[in-house]
Structure 1
Amino acid sequence: MATRHVFGAFTLEVNDNGVCVATFSRPPVNAVSLSVYEDIGHLADHVATDSQIRVIVISAPDDARAWCGGADLNEFKGMTAAKRKERYQFINEQLPRFHRIDRPMIAAIRGAAIGVGVMLAGMCDMRVVSEDSRFACPEVDYGLVGGSAGLFATLRMPEAKVREMVYTGRAFTARELESTGLFNYVVPRAAVLPLALDMAAKIAEKSMPTLRARKQASLSWEGSEWMDAYLESQDMSSTLVEQPESEAAVIAALKRGSRRAAS
């Protein structure tokens, strides 16, 4: 029987074998608001105290339009440099807690991972994705500097592809990125969650102290350089956010979203 916990937009179901399925659900597109960042912090804090959780699979509902649709652009209307820095300060209290979770994490992605969604996927230890899922770093389209490049470098993605993603902002399918080594498996959509759960079940059979030590060793090997680069990108974005084209791009994107929702 599964034990259930709810932290805002995240529902955790912990099975008897120690596999925890964390489902992110914030319709319509699983956009990440400040409240979601807070939920991420609460989730991380809970895992730290729950000895039943051995492995975490992060998923989204079957009918979700995205695994993670990126930042909630509604919070970017009227953004100033001071507000942007305040937002970053709050985010930087939450995301590192997620990154430091001392259990193996598997991202089971069926759909889009945009912006911070790419960051969250990259912070997981493994990624199982559907062949039609899409990945984008669109910050350049909003006159901002995305923070994913340093994380991609840590994951040994080819630098040429990283630069194509962050300079163009366009969405790439999982098949287009498969050769970069970002994913463990690229499979049909229906196979994503079963495969991720099968991997998690095998991992959950291992010694809990060993799993936690292995995760800590991996984090230590990874180092902090990518986070330093992420913080530098935040400083750069804070100086750009008041540019007129940035505000115009946010408003245009919100209008496009409204039209799609109405159609």
Structure 2
Amino acid sequence: MISLSLLVMPLLMQPSILLACFAAAARFTHTEPIRISRSLSPASKPALCSHRNIILNDPRRRNALSLSMLQSLREDLLHDVKSKDLRVIIISAEGPVFSSGHDLKELASEDDVKHHSQVFEVCAEVMTLIQKLPVPVIAKVNGLATAAGCQLVASCDIAVASEKSQFATPGVNIGLFCSTPAVALGRSLPRKVALEMLFTGEPLSAQEALMHGLVSKVVPEDKLEEETMKISHKICESSRSVLALGKATFYRQMAQDLDTAYRMTAQVMVDNLTLRDGQEGIEAFIQKRKPVWSHSQDEKK
């Protein structure tokens, strides 16, 4: 049994602390899994440009990705996603742990195969959904991300972490290998780095995560919000429709061989030129003015 004093200790590098955070989900009842808010970015004047903040808000249970948490996350990711005003989604968390991964209490019974399958199916749906959305998704990490929590960070398009953040896949230490987190991890990290994390459960520091490509930037804790919003504001300066096309194309070509990828992306470049915003950007550059984006997928007339 994990002591309550252990759960409130500062986050350290020891595996015992990581394991405690991974397993803490079994101790508490679930309340208010997700809080969602919307705000307008000042970087987009005079046009409105909004980013959505999705906050994992179950810090007592280390923001465990229970089935209900995953379902809420899926719902909030999809909410009004076709709105032209929505330009960026930012996922963050309350408390010292970004997410400890799956709720182990839900997985404790070996007989409930149907429920177990649903948990992992919904989790996979959420992770792949992030990369299918038409807007960039940024993970804002300020603390420990383990197992499926680490998977969530790896699945986001961009990740900004504070210097105190750590990342681990410690499932092997409790007899539950992080097989599904390995999918996202193996696509974000060099093979040997990912496998060392998976085989040992040892954490990566924020700087190690940056060096290996798991996160995009590492900043002091008091600069985390500022740096994340700086990226969000910069994204807001571009055409939503062009970014949506580019994001979809990027992930599509990653699954293709080199020749196929070049053929496909060459056609996308041609298609991009037919978009209203594709031509607007070129005309604005030639005329030495700022582009006025329509954010529309319509072709130039």
TM above 0.5: yes
Equivalent of residue 146 in structure 2, options 110, 114, 127: 114
**Taking every aligned residue pair, what percent have the same amino acid on both sides?**
27
Structure 1 position 182 matched with structure 2 position 214: yes
For residues 102 and 182 of structure 1, the distance between their equivalents in structure 2, rounded to whole angstroms, comes to: 22
Structure 1 position 12 matched with structure 2 position 37: yes
For residues 208 and 178 of structure 1, the distance between their equivalents in structure 2, rounded to whole angstroms, comes to: 27
Paired residues for 1:135-150 under 5 Å? 135-146=167-178, 147-150=180-183
Counterpart for residue 60 of structure 1: 93
CA offset digits 1:129-158 (Å, max 9, x no partner): 111101011121221231233323322x22
CA offset digits 1:105-134 (Å, max 9, x no partner): 111110011111111111111111111101
Deviation of 1:91 (Å): 3.3
Counterpart for residue 249 of structure 1: none
Structure 1 position 46 matched with structure 2 position 82: no
| Structure 1 unaligned residues grouped into runs of 5+ | 1-6, 225-263
Partner secondary structure for residue 57 of structure 1: strand
Deviation of 1:40 (Å): 1.7
CA contact (8 A) 2:34 2:72 kept: yes
Paired residues for 1:1-263 under 5 Å? 8-15=33-40, 16-28=48-60, 29-61=62-94, 64-80=95-111, 82-83=113-114, 84-146=116-178, 147-155=180-188, 157-223=189-255
| Structure 2 unaligned residues grouped into runs of 5+ | 1-31, 41-47, 257-301
For residues 90 and 79 of structure 1, the distance between their equivalents in structure 2, rounded to whole angstroms, comes to: 19
Counterpart for residue 259 of structure 1: none
For residues 194 and 124 of structure 2, the distance between their equivalents in structure 1, rounded to whole angstroms, comes to: 23
| TM-score, normalised via structure 2 length | 0.66
Partner secondary structure for residue 54 of structure 1: strand
Describe the shift of the 1:154–1:89 C-alpha distance in structure 2 as closer, same or farther (beyond 3 A). Answer: closer
Q: RMSD of the alignment, in Å?
A: 2.3
Describe the shift of the 1:133–1:212 C-alpha distance in structure 2 as closer, same or farther (beyond 3 A). Answer: same
CA contact (8 A) 1:110 1:129 kept: yes
- Larger RCO (alpha carbons 8 Å, 6+ apart): 1
| TM-score, normalised via structure 1 length | 0.74
CA contact (8 A) 2:131 2:157 kept: no
